[in-house]
Amino acid sequence: MRATLIYGAGDVRVENVPDPVIEQPTDAVVRVLRACVCGSDLWPYGSRAATQHGDRIGHEFLGVVEETGSEVHGLKRGDVVVAPFVWSDNTCDFCLEGLQTSCRHGGMWARNGVDGGQGEAVRVPQAQGTLVRLPVGEDSALLPSLLTLSDVFPTGYHCAVTAGVNARTTVTVIGDGAVGLSAVLSARRLGAERIILMGRHKDRTDLGREFGATDVVAERGEEGVERVRELTGGDGTHAVLECVGLEQAMDTAFGVVRDGGVVGRVGAPQYEKVSMGSREFMRNITLTGGVAPARAYIEELLPDMLDGTIEPGRVFDHTVHLEKVPDGYRAMAARQALKVLITP
- What is the total count of residues that contact Zn ion (CB under 5 A)? 5
Parallel, antiparallel, or unpaired for β 121-124 and 107-108? unpaired
Cβ at position 124, least distance to Zn ion in Å: 15
Ranges of beta strands (E only) in the chain are: 2-8, 11-16, 28-36, 55-56, 61-68, 80-83, 86-87, 107-108, 121-124, 132-133, 171-174, 195-198, 215-217, 237-242, 257-265, 286-289, 318-321, 340-343
Q: Does 60 bind Zn ion (CB under 5 A)?
A: no
φ, ψ of residue 93 to 5 degrees: the values are -60, -40
Nearer to Zn ion, 106 or 328 (CB): 106
**Spatial separation of the C-alpha atoms in residues 128 and 142, rounded to whole Å:** 23
Q: How many residues does the chain have?
A: 344
Cβ at position 289, least distance to Zn ion in Å: 21
Cβ at position 101, least distance to Zn ion in Å: 10
Q: Does 64 bind Zn ion (CB under 5 A)?
A: no
Nearer to Zn ion, 128 or 182 (CB): 128
Q: Does 127 bind Zn ion (CB under 5 A)?
A: no
Map the footprint of Zn ion across residues 70-89, applying CB under 5 A. 88-89
Q: Does 103 bind Zn ion (CB under 5 A)?
A: yes
Nearer to Zn ion, 107 or 326 (CB): 107
**Spatial separation of the C-alpha atoms in residues 190 and 169, rounded to whole Å:** 10
Nearer to Zn ion, 130 or 172 (CB): 130
Cβ at position 90, least distance to Zn ion in Å: 6
Cβ at position 88, least distance to Zn ion in Å: 5
Cβ at position 160, least distance to Zn ion in Å: 24
CA atoms within 13 A on the CB side of 52: 0
Could you report how far apart the first and last alpha carbons of the chain are, in Å? 11
Look at residues 143, 78, 165, 108 and name the one whose alpha carbon lies nearest to residue 294: 108
Q: Which helix (H) or strand (E) holds 154?
A: helix 152-162
Nearer to Zn ion, 85 or 254 (CB): 85
Map the footprint of Zn ion across residues 23-42, applying CB under 5 A. none
Nearer to Zn ion, 106 or 212 (CB): 106
Write down the H helix ranges in 212-246. Answer: 221-231
Q: Does 92 bind Zn ion (CB under 5 A)?
A: yes
What residues line the site for Zn ion (CB under 5 A)? 88-89, 92, 95, 103
